[in-house]
Amino acid sequence: MESNNTTSSNFIKNIIIDDLKSGKHKEIITRFPPEPNGYLHIGHAKSIVLNFGLADEFNGRTNLRFDDTNPLKEDIEYVEAIKEDVSWLGYEWEELHFASNYFSEMYERAVLLIKKGLAYVEDLSADEIREYRGTLKEPGKESPSRNRSIEENLALFDQMKNGEFKNGEKVLRAKIDMSSPNINLRDPIIYRISHSTHHNTGDEWCIYPMYGYAHPLEDAIEGVTHSICTVEFEDQRPLYNWVVEKCEMDAKPQQIEFARLNVTNTIMSKRKLKMLVDEKFVDGWDDPRMPTLSGLRRKGYTPESIVTFCRETGVGKGYGVVDVQMLEHFIREDLKLKAPRTMAVLKPLKVVITNYPEGQVEMLDAEINSEVPEMGTRQIPLSREIYIEQDDFMEDPPKKYFRLFPGNEVRLKHAYFIKCEEVIKDNAGEVVEIRCTYDPETKSGTGFTGRKVKGTIHWVEASQAQPAEFRLYEPLILDEEKAEGESFLDNVNPNSLEIVNGFVEPNMKGAKGQDKLQFFRHGYFNVDPKHTTDDKLVFNRIVSLKSSFKL
């Protein structure tokens, strides 16, 4: 048994190690089983990394299986998006399956249960079934339908299948124990009627298996050895085992639960994310504000950063919430040495260097990434007119403001010292231009030591600057408590997107979608693949440079 050690130690890994040692399994098979009712989010990544990671580590296999047993909510668009996202994370599934391809076998196994006296057709309405079910404190009551003969049950189930009943008129229930302390075992519904078209099986079926019955069968049919799910399903485990045993499945998969991933300020439910899309709070499932994998990708997250985040957050059983800053930490770590560094002015203010020769353009050498000298250098132009950041100038600065103000001298990154000599305002009193002088003796890289300045500011030469749009993001939901509740739509942050227009260095011309960069002092940005055209550069801010977060 070879270990590639792609996951840190955890209790599921220990179970697998024991099962391989004892000979219970020769090879482990896991699966990632999304329902195609929306796009994958960062919580799903956790499950993907765990399932594929464990199989990789022990030379096992992982299937991608669409758990498509609910025709009303599912769509082929979601199937395609999910495949793309799993591949993007860097995982290859062994087999691709649809639960709906097992409908015939599931039906046959239900007939087997009926024949064994372990399932019956129920006439009670949904409300009555609920009433009969009892509570945590009180046992349930047996339904009058419970004692139907096997023949009658077979005939009625056949009629259900043939479309002779309306939605909700009948259901098939497993006959287990109406007084079980585990409510999931009080004769759970295993088939329901739904006259609707399914994305894969069309109108072939009008009865559909319920999750608690379908999922164990799907796992067993595929020979899954370890069926990993989240802790909400712990109480379903006895039903899972009951179904596998009573349906006489050869394989005996083991359900193992772990705590779901929760992240601060992050909505983690496909159903709620779909509401944000449908009600146009965001621009589609891949809006960079969305915690979907497609949204994170468009924002500029790398698969490596997401996989590392999922691994480092660990695998446990207890409830926990991970700070979103931890995810941001890993994208900074990933891009720190990979991303070229360049200058961008997000909110421009024009500066004229009055003693710089008119018509002269000088090319300056600048490192592409000061921490990675092998990345080489780039050339940036300087001339008499440049743009600086509006925030880098103040007419009446407070103490300890070391950037540009009347009479003060600063360094232009990669260039010279400039000194603010004059402030030009429009009729409304707004500052529209700054006039400076520069000192040719102070060129960067020449070892000038004559005097020091406290501030270094970034800039872009005006005549060759590339216009660019910058999209700056804040969380969609600011109040953590409110992200959990049903009224979360009332609490969507109206300022989650700010769009500003500025300039980038001329060498950015031709940047393509998904190129990642560090803009000096502003953070990491990604060229937006949806809005960038040959004529217009659009950048998404992935994350700012600094954070107080400590791992």
**What is the identity of the amino acid at 367?**
E
Options 40-48, 114-122, 326-334, 479-487: segment touching ligand ATP (CB under 6 A):
40-48
Q: Which is nearer to Mg ion, 41 or 298 (CB)?
A: 41
Output b/e per residue, 469-478; b: 16+ Cβ within 10 A. Answer: bbbbbebbbe
Nearest distance from C-beta of residue 494 to ligand ATP, angstroms = 25
What residue number has its CB nearest to Mg ion? 35
Of Mg ion, ligand ATP, none, which one does residue 257 interact with (CB within 5 to 8 Å by kind)? none
Q: Which is nearer to Mg ion, 73 or 336 (CB)?
A: 73
Of Mg ion, ligand ATP, none, which one does residue 268 interact with (CB within 5 to 8 Å by kind)? ligand ATP
Question: Of 35, 333, 385, 433, which residue is the catalytic one?
Answer: 35
Options 33-41, 71-79, 108-116, 543-551: segment touching ligand ATP (CB under 6 A):
33-41
Rounded to whole angstroms, how far apart are CA atoms 388 and 350?
6
Q: Which is nearer to ligand ATP, 50 or 517 (CB)?
A: 50
**Residue 53 contacts ligand ATP per CB under 6 A:** no
* Stretch 31-60 residues interacting with Mg ion (CB under 5 A): 35
Q: Are 237 and 269 in contact (CB under 8 A)?
A: no
Q: Which is nearer to ligand ATP, 36 or 502 (CB)?
A: 36
Size of residue set near ligand ATP by CB under 6 A: 16
The pair of three-digit structure tokens given for residue 79, joined into one six-digit string? 């199937």
Rounded to whole angstroms, how far apart are CA atoms 215 and 213?
6
- Closest residue by Cα to residue 438 from 416, 412, 407: 416
Active site residue 270: yes
Q: Are 537 and 507 in contact (CB under 8 A)?
A: no
Provide the CB-side half-sphere exposure for 500 (13 A, CA). 15
* Stretch 260-289 residues interacting with ligand ATP (CB under 6 A): 260-261, 268-271
Of ligand ATP, Mg ion, none, which one does residue 109 interact with (CB within 5 to 8 Å by kind)? none
Rounded to whole angstroms, how far apart are CA atoms 244 and 177?
17
Nearest distance from C-beta of residue 35 to Mg ion, angstroms = 5
Nearest distance from C-beta of residue 394 to ligand ATP, angstroms = 45
Rounded to whole angstroms, how far apart are CA atoms 447 and 266?
49
**Residue 75 contacts Mg ion per CB under 5 A:** no
Interface pick for ligand ATP out of 17, 25, 35, 201 (rule CB under 6 A): 35
The pair of three-digit structure tokens given for residue 441, joined into one six-digit string? 């003796």
Nearest distance from C-beta of residue 210 to ligand ATP, angstroms = 14
Interface pick for ligand ATP out of 13, 44, 198, 522 (rule CB under 6 A): 44
Rounded to whole angstroms, how far apart are CA atoms 48 and 34?
10
**Residue 47 contacts ligand ATP per CB under 6 A:** yes
Q: Which is nearer to ligand ATP, 93 or 356 (CB)?
A: 93
Nearest distance from C-beta of residue 40 to ligand ATP, angstroms = 8
What Cα–Cα distance (Å) separates residue 506 from each residue in 247, 382, 461, 529? 68, 11, 9, 19
DSSP string, 138-202: S-----GGGG--HHHHHHHHHHHHTT-S-TTT-EEEE---TT-SSGGGSS-EEEEE----BTTTB
* Stretch 518-537 residues interacting with Mg ion (CB under 5 A): none
The pair of three-digit structure tokens given for residue 256, joined into one six-digit string? 């193992």
* Stretch 58-77 residues interacting with ligand ATP (CB under 6 A): 67
Nearest distance from C-beta of residue 455 to Mg ion, angstroms = 53
Rounded to whole angstroms, how far apart are CA atoms 216 and 249?
10
Tokens 């009573």, residue located: 246
Question: Of 24, 73, 133, 260, which residue is the catalytic one?
Answer: 260
The count of other CB atoms within 10 Å of the CB of residue 118 is 17
Nearest distance from C-beta of residue 112 to ligand ATP, angstroms = 27
Can you say how many angstroms the Cα of residue 63 is from the centroid of all Cα atoms in its chain? 20
Helix (H) or strand (E) holding 473: strand 466-473
Active site residue 260: yes
Options 43-51, 218-226, 374-382, 491-499: segment touching ligand ATP (CB under 6 A):
43-51
Nearest distance from C-beta of residue 108 to Mg ion, angstroms = 26
Of Mg ion, ligand ATP, none, which one does residue 216 interact with (CB within 5 to 8 Å by kind)? none
Question: Of 173, 186, 270, 341, which residue is the catalytic one?
Answer: 270
Of ligand ATP, Mg ion, none, which one does residue 227 interact with (CB within 5 to 8 Å by kind)? none
Region of residue 365 (left: phi > 0; alpha: psi -120 to 50; beta: else): beta
Interface pick for ligand ATP out of 28, 43, 85, 335 (rule CB under 6 A): 43
Per-residue binder mask for ligand ATP (CB under 6 A), 198-237, x = binder:
-------------------------------xx-------
Nearest distance from C-beta of residue 81 to ligand ATP, angstroms = 12
The pair of three-digit structure tokens given for residue 221, joined into one six-digit string? 């049919």
Rounded to whole angstroms, how far apart are CA atoms 308 and 297?
15
- Closest residue by Cα to residue 266 from 326, 312, 329, 318: 326
Active site residue 105: no
DSSP string, 347-393: SEEEEEETTSPTT--EEEEEES-TT-GGG-EEEEEE-SEEEEEGGGB
Residues labelled catalytic: 35, 260, 270
User: For binding to ligand ATP (CB under 6 A), which residues are involved?
Assistant: 33-35, 43-44, 46-47, 67, 229-230, 260-261, 268-271
Residues making contact with Mg ion (CB under 5 A): 35
